[in-house]
Chain A
Amino acid sequence: GESVGLHLPTLSVQEGDNSIINCAYSNSASDYFIWYKQESGKGPQFIIDIRSNMDKRQGQRVTVLLNKTVKHLSLQIAATQPGDSAVYFCAEKGGSNYKLTFGKGTLLTVNP
């Protein structure tokens, strides 16, 4: 069945370092991927997305890389700040036009 998983459940970094959060997906029909940030007590906040016809997309301080060969997605955060501390989810769409499938999430902690 479809699944989206993460390699690391927790990640702790120093302020100013770069962070990399990884995600594996198993549905080869997936063609749209989104990274969300969820702070405690809040709903998921859109960070960046990427379509399957791309392998890299950059935003402000964030970059998403997509490797369809190994079904792997990563989120890179440059110069990580304490405000980046949150749970990060990758989500995918594929096979339907309505449903997002989420992984369990990675908790990112930024130490000052």
Chain B
Amino acid sequence: ETGVTQSPTHLIKTRGQQVTLRCSSQSGHNTVSWYQQALGQGPQFIFQYYREEENGRGNFPPRFSGLQFPNYSSELNVNALELDDSALYLCASSLVPSRGETQYFGPGTRLLVL
């Protein structure tokens, strides 16, 4: 069984640029959630994708957007990067989006915005 993978592992961007982060879900999982984790904080929910549709969204502005592909992999896109976007971006997959389903996390992408 393959776990959740993310790419790239690290990324440096400047303010105003755009970034795309990628995630491959665990084998058999069709639901992908994205979280932002600032240094010293717990992860904050960005959004979730299920069957290629956005299934829920947290308190993040529209410049945070995503996609899910037929193979259940997913992308997180952030436009007009701001310094405060510097964080660890985590992807988590689950079998289905039900309330009792555990979410399994990938290693994350560390984004630094200068």
Binding site for B on A (CB under 8 A): 4, 31-32, 34, 36, 41-46, 49, 51, 89, 91, 93-94, 96-105
Contact = CB atoms under 8 A, between A and B. Distances in A.
Interface residues of B, number: 28
Chain A interface main SS type: strand
Nearest to B88: A43
B97 A44 contact: no
Contact of A104 (B42, B55, B107): B42
Interface in B6-21: 6
B28 interface: no
Contacts of B100: 31-32, 51, 93
Contact of B33 (A31, A98, A102, A104): A98
Given A43-B107, A98-B56, A98-B97, A49 B102 contact: yes
